[in-house]
Homo-oligomer: A and B are copies of this chain.
Amino acid sequence: MPKVSAEHREARREEILCAARRRFASEGFHATSMQDILTESGMSAGAVYRYFNSKSDIVSAIACENMSALLDSLESYADTAADVPVAEVVVAILRGIREKHETDRVARLALQVWAESARDPELRAHFCSTHQRLRAIVRTVVVRRHPHLTDEADAVAGAVTALVPGFLHQLALLDAGATAGFEDGVRLLLDGF
Q: Residues on A close to B: CB < 8 A? A: 30, 108, 111-112, 114-115, 117-119, 124, 127-128, 131-132, 149, 152, 154-167, 169-170, 172-175, 178-179, 181-182, 184-186, 188-193
Tell whether A185 pairs with B166 under 8 Å between CB atoms, given A131-B173, A173-B114, A192-B192.
Answer: no
Partner among B124, B163, B170 whose Cβ is within 8 Å of the Cβ of A173: B124
Which residues of the partner chain B approach A127 to less than 8 Å between Cβ atoms? Answer: 173
Residues A162 and B166 in contact, CB atoms below 8 Å apart: yes
B165 lies within 8 A of A159 (CB)? no
Q: Which of A152, A184, A186, A189 has the most CB of B within 10 A?
A: A189
* Oligomer: number of copies: 2
Chain B neighbourhood of A192, CB < 8 A:
191-193
Q: Is the interface of A mostly helix, strand, loop or mixed?
A: helix
- State which of B108, B119, B131, B167 has its C-beta within 8 Å of the C-beta of A162: B167
Partner of A156, one of B112, B164, B174, B188: B188
CA–CA, A108 and B116, complex, Å: 10
- CA of A189 to CA of B162, assembled, Å: 12
Q: Is the CB of A184 within 8 A of B114?
A: no
Complex partner residue of A188 from B30, B112, B155, B181, CB under 8 angstroms = B155
Contact pick for A185, options B108, B159, B165, B173, CB 8 Å: B159
